[in-house]
Amino acid sequence: MRRVCLMLATSLLLTVPVMASGTHSSAHDEIPIGKPGDKKKVTRTIEIIMKEDGQGKMMFSPAKLVFKEGQTVKLRFVNQGEMDHEFVMDEEATIIEHKAVMEKNPDMEHDDPNAIRLAPGARGEIIWTFSKPGTFKFACLVPGHFEAGMHGPLEVDSAVANNP
């Protein structure tokens, strides 16, 4: 009987749909790269373009992002490509781990405040507070897009270093 229950429990676990949960469980939780921001405190807006070049290369423009510790920004996205693209920002190890899960589950849905997925021609935004300094990464984790060049560095400079 015990063996049957264990087999049933294992079977149920294997049939549960996989959802991307990132490194947090709610909009109030802070992750290493920061936390969801208050739109009333936005001090900077950056437009980020997602696209392909027709030669197999995929990209974000700008290709590198730099912020100050404590800064609240509005990241405004435009998918100018002909394919779905996403933007996920986090620690590099977490991005690589999430990428591996996405390769096995390409239709995975996301509900993370540090990520957005857009259809061709769509627009969206993330309001974010970069509360900790460090070197992070952003990427499109749709299978094959990272390999086609759709990733870049994200730096959060210490507020102390910027204000001697």
- Summarize pLDDT for 98-138 with one digit per residue, the tens: 999 999 988 787 789 999 999 999 999 999 999 999 999 99
116 near 89, Cβ under 8 Å?
no
pLDDT at position 160:
57
pLDDT at position 27:
44
pLDDT at position 29:
76
Domains identified in the chain and CATH numbers: 2-162 (2.60.40.420)
Low-confidence spans in the chain with pLDDT less than 50: 1-27, 161-164
pLDDT at position 110:
74
pTM: predicted TM-score of the whole model, two decimal places: 0.79
153 near 137, Cβ under 8 Å?
yes
pLDDT at position 28:
57
Edge-to-edge strand order for the sheet containing 151-157?
Answer: 65-68, 151-157, 134-139, 85-90, 115-118
82 near 121, Cβ under 8 Å?
no
